[in-house]
Amino acid sequence: MTTNIKTFEDFRETFFAFRLPRILLTALDLQLFTVMDTKSWTIKNLAKTLGVSERGLEILCRNLASAGLLQKRGFRYSSERVGRQFLNKHSPLYRGSYLQLMCQQWDNWNSLTQAVKTGHPVEEKEPETPSYRHAFTWAMHERSLDAARQVANQVDFTSATSLLDVGGGPGTYALEFLAKNPKMTATILDRPAALDVARDIAKTRRQGKRLSYQAADFLIDPIHGKYDVIWISNVIHIFSPSTNKKFFRRLRTHLNPRGRILIQDTFLSDKQSIRPAEANLFAVTMLLFTESGNTYSLADVHEWLKKTGYKNPGILTLKKGTGDWDGILIQAHG
């Protein structure tokens, strides 16, 4: 998303961009795509089934059709592919856990002014219960499925036989790396409740047998073993620069000779550290949910790596439109 507000009209248009997301949220609240499934509906029948007004539903559906999520033929509406496959509980590709996490954020973002005033998250503390962690970990799996496959197809691990997936959560990345590299074994380092989900997912995949687990608070507890690759994806944005530096230093001691660390995240990449916009927007999420998280520039992370003893920090750029975020990985040797 690129926004460049130069006129009041630009400002107004940008401001009102909240309308479509709010429409999507209402459609999800009503389970519209699940109820519609693969059938085509008149407004009258759909309104009766959903228990909502015909007037409200007609306006909602017209907007969803204009956004490409519904198809309108005469007086009948049906779901297009995204709605049928990903937003529909009857579909095997339903992204329910991730959708729930996305929807919850609407309320959290309403508290942004308070978070800016205090500099602290809106909830007293990240709700670290096993049920929260299970739901979050499933959401991460649904979020990363496609990206993990794309990263695994492009990163060369031929000389590596062991990988530590730090904060690997559901193991989505580790499993894809194992599938692509039959001689490799991998270990996921995460909280016990996240590893429950990883075990359940691994059971459904042949390469799951080459996966092992370390349950730990990785900032405090001992980390075991030495690895050819340390993969750390979507973790450094949770922590402050000083915590990340300490953690990098510690992780380096778990690399085999000639081993490397690979970091995936959303990075600020221009000289002034204000772009891409998505990296700034994600920093807001970190303000709302974490005590000291943020998004960082490529230059910052390179600097931390050098200061903590890594050699030759550099960038791996994936094919445009693939991988997570902008498809940029940072790599350095131990």
CA-angle at 186, arms to 184 and 188, nearest 5° = 170
The nearer residue to ligand SAM, 57 or 201, going by C-beta atoms, is 201
The site map against ligand SAM for 169-188 (x = CB under 6 A) is x--x----------------
The nearer residue to ligand SAM, 79 or 234, going by C-beta atoms, is 234
**Contact residues for 107 (Cβ-Cβ < 8 A; gap 6+):** none
CA-angle at 199, arms to 197 and 201, nearest 5° = 70
Strand partners, 311: 333
SS3 230: strand
Provide the minimum distance between the beta carbon of 199 and ligand SAM in the complex, in angstroms, as a whole number: 14
Residues 223-282 close enough to bind ligand SAM by CB under 6 A: 233-235, 238
State the residue number with the nearest CB to ligand SAM: 167
The nearer residue to ligand SAM, 79 or 137, going by C-beta atoms, is 137
Cα–Cα distance for residue pair 189/198, rounded to 1 Å: 11
The nearer residue to ligand SAM, 79 or 172, going by C-beta atoms, is 172
Q: For 194-215, b where at least 16 C-beta lie within 10 A, e where not — what string?
A: bbbbbebbbeeeebbebbebbe
Give yes or no for a contact between 140 and 169, defined as CB atoms under 8 angstroms apart.
yes
Q: With residue 258 as reference, give the H or E element that holds it.
A: strand 255-264
The encoded tokens of residue 107 equal 């309320």
Q: How many residues bind ligand SAM (CB under 6 A)?
A: 17
Q: Determine the residue type at 47.
A: A
Residues 186-225 close enough to bind ligand SAM by CB under 6 A: 190-191, 194, 217-219
**Would the CA dihedral through 321, 146, 278, 308 be positive or negative?**
negative
Provide the minimum distance between the beta carbon of 320 and ligand SAM in the complex, in angstroms, as a whole number: 20
The stretch near ligand SAM (CB under 6 A) out of 55-63, 109-117, 166-174, 302-310 is: 166-174
The nearer residue to ligand SAM, 99 or 194, going by C-beta atoms, is 194
Cα–Cα distance for residue pair 158/236, rounded to 1 Å: 26
Cα–Cα distance for residue pair 141/131, rounded to 1 Å: 15
Q: Is 116 in the site for ligand SAM (CB under 6 A)?
A: no
Provide the minimum distance between the beta carbon of 80 and ligand SAM in the complex, in angstroms, as a whole number: 27
Write the DSSP symbol of residue 122.
Answer: S
Among residues 88, 144, 207, 266, the one that binds ligand SAM under rule CB under 6 A:
144
Alpha carbons within 13 A on the beta-carbon side of 163? 32
Among residues 83, 96, 121, 167, the one that binds ligand SAM under rule CB under 6 A:
167
The nearer residue to ligand SAM, 50 or 145, going by C-beta atoms, is 145
Among residues 83, 168, 259, 334, the one that binds ligand SAM under rule CB under 6 A:
168
The nearer residue to ligand SAM, 34 or 86, going by C-beta atoms, is 86
Q: Which residues form the interface with ligand SAM (CB under 6 A)?
A: 137, 140, 144, 167-169, 172, 190-191, 194, 217-219, 233-235, 238
